[in-house]
Structure formats: C-alpha cells, structure tokens
C-alpha cells in the first residue's frame, strides 16, 4: 500500500493505492480536513469505491449462467490493491484488473480505471470500466465518500426543491442473512420548502441508508451550522444514497452517487436482471464521473 498526494493552491488530496480510496481532502484556506478519517469506533473507511456491486446481493448470492457466486456488501474493489498508472501535479490514475480470486466471486474479466483530477476548488472523480471479457459484462459501481460534520447542526440541500422520497433498508427483519436489501416500504422526507435544506439527526438514519431513486436530484450540498455551503457533490446518476451509521451519532455523513444499488428482498438473484444494473459488450468502455466542489 502507498499513498499519493496531488495539490493546488486551494486543495490537497491524498489517495491510497489500497482500494484507490480518497483518504484526505484538505481545504488550504483554513487547513480543514473535509473527509472522515476512518475511526473504527464509528466506521473504519473513508471513501471506498463500490465495485462490481453497490450494496448487497440478496443472501449475498448472484446467479450467472447457471452458477452461483457469493460476494459481500459493496464488492471487492475497495479491499484490493490498485496499480498507479499515472501521476501529475493535478491528476492520479489507478487501475485494477480481474484475477483468479475475483473470478471466484464474480464471473467477468475487466479493467477498472479510477482517476482523480484537481481543478481549482473541485475534485473530479472518474470511473472507467472496460469489459475485457468475450461476453456481456454486468456490474454496478458507486461512491461512498464520508464528510466530517455534526449531525446536530449541519444540513443537506438538494438541487430540486420539495419533497424527496426515500426507500428504507430494514436489515433487522430480513431472514437468511439477506441484510441490507431493499424493502417495499417508502417514507417521505421533507426539506424546508423555501431553502431546500434538510436537517440531519440520528433519527434520520434510524433505518439505515436513505436511497433516492428516479433522478430526484443531481446535486447535494453539505451546509454548516450557519446554513452556508461547505461542499457540493454534482453527479448524473439515477439514484444516490445518504448514510450515517445507525445509532452511533457519528460525526460524518456519506453522500453517495450510485450506478446500481442493493437487491430487493424478493429478487431472484439473476445477475443480468438486477435493477439499475449496467452492462457492457466485449471491449466496450463505461465512463462516468462525479465532482466534489469545495467552498
């Protein structure tokens, strides 16, 4: 494992080769650390990349071509060592390829390239997934960055005002180790109708992550105790998640753009039929990105 740093006049970003994970993002104007520093008392990660599954398969099993594959939550990329492909003053690029061990849990050959590009007060995060197999590849990919904040005083602001609907994760009542699957229940949450600001609390996350489907927003802003923006995530995904650990009153919140999500509690397990899943023909490239703007 090694750590790499890129910086400019406004930001300093540190990324680890372990999982190609962002480990630190410092605003130079005041030295403020914006990313959660992986205290295991709350959550021992900072900003993992979720691949080739976002969330969890029902019963941790997917089925492809008549064979069952077992994989834990959020896939294996976050726990693997990436190769550094390129480093400049403002860019870092990492690569991960399939191995015999990944084939035990996931049937396809792939090349996953992750890039971090600093420009002024923004970090652009790029995902390039290449299908190096000779058949159609099915996968999901997503982000899970955790940002330092107080749940008591900080707020979230969505780019589209009005009510947003979240789907609950009710892991405590799902049998056969199907924890983390999506129930059929939905709950309406109501940001302030004038400002779009949503107050946070432990109660907000009492049923685990909030999952927003159907393109309900393409920007989420984290605001401080004076309702001033601290940072903003911009993305072009059909769904995203908001999370802080249940019952821990953790000093961070995760804002998570996703191309994919966990299975429903009644899903059949067939990999190619997963909701919000992505597919690539042999040799094709899937290229997506999201941006973090710092204020």
pLDDT of amino acid 179? 58
Sort strands 210-212 and 239-243 into parallel, antiparallel or unpaired. Answer: antiparallel
Element holding 101 (H helix, E strand): helix 100-105
Range of the domain at 272: 3-294
Edge-to-edge strands of the sheet including 83-87?
Answer: 83-87, 91-97, 110-119, 122-131, 285-294, 229-235, 219-223, 155-158, 197-199
What digits encode the pLDDT tens for the residues 87-146?
999 999 999 999 999 999 999 999 999 999 999 999 999 999 999 999 999 999 999 999
For the segment 7-32, the average pLDDT, to the nearest whole number, is: 98
Residue 171 has pLDDT above 60, yes or no: no
Residue 175 has pLDDT above 60, yes or no: no
Instruction: Lowest mean pLDDT of 160-169, 234-243, 267-276, name the range.
Output: 160-169
- Look at the block and give the residue holding tokens 């509690």: 265
Structure confidence at residue 170 as a pLDDT band (50, 70, 90) = low
Mean pLDDT of the chain: 93
As for how many domains the chain has, the answer is 1
CATH of residue 147: 2.70.98.10
Long-range contacts of the stretch 214-217 (C-beta < 8 A, 24+): 214/238, 214/239, 215/239, 216/158, 216/160, 216/164, 216/165, 217/158, 217/159, 217/160, 217/164
Residue 177 has pLDDT above 70, yes or no: no
């Amino acid at each position: 494992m090694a750590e790499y740093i890129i910086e400019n006049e406004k930001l300093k970003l540190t990324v680890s080769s372990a999982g190609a994970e962002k480990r630190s993002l410092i605003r130079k104007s005041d030295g403020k650390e914006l990313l959660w520093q992986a205290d295991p008392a709350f959550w021992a990660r900072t900003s993992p990349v979720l691949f080739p599954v976002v969330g969890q398969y029902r019963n941790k099993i997917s089925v492809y071509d008549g064979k069952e594959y077992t994989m834990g939550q959020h896939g294996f990329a976050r726990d693997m060592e990436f190769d550094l492909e390129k480093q400049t003053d403002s860019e870092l690029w990492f690569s991960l390829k399939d191995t015999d061990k990944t084939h035990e849990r996931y049937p396809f050959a792939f090349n996953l390239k992750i890039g971090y590009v600093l420009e002024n007060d923004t970090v652009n995060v790029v995902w390039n997934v290449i299908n190096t197999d000779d058949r159609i590849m099915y996968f999901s990919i997503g982000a899970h960055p955790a940002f330092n904040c107080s749940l008591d005083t900080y707020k979230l602001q969505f780019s589209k005002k009005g009510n947003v609907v979240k789907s609950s994760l009710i892991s405590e009542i799902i049998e056969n180790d199907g924890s983390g699957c999506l129930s059929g229940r939905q709950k309406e949450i109501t940001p302030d109708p004038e400002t779009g600001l949503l107050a946070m609390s432990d109660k907000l996350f009492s049923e685990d992550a909030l999952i927003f489907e159907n393109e309900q927003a393409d920007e989420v802003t984290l605001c401080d105790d004076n309702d001033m923006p601290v940072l903003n995530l911009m993305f072009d995904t059909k769904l995203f998640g908001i999370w802080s650990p249940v019952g821990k009153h953790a000093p961070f919140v995760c804002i998570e753009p996703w191309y994919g999500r966990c299975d429903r509690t009644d899903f059949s397990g067939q990999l190619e039929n997963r909701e919000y899943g992505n597919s690539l023909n042999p040799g094709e490239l899937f290229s997506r990105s999201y941006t973090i703007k710092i204020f």
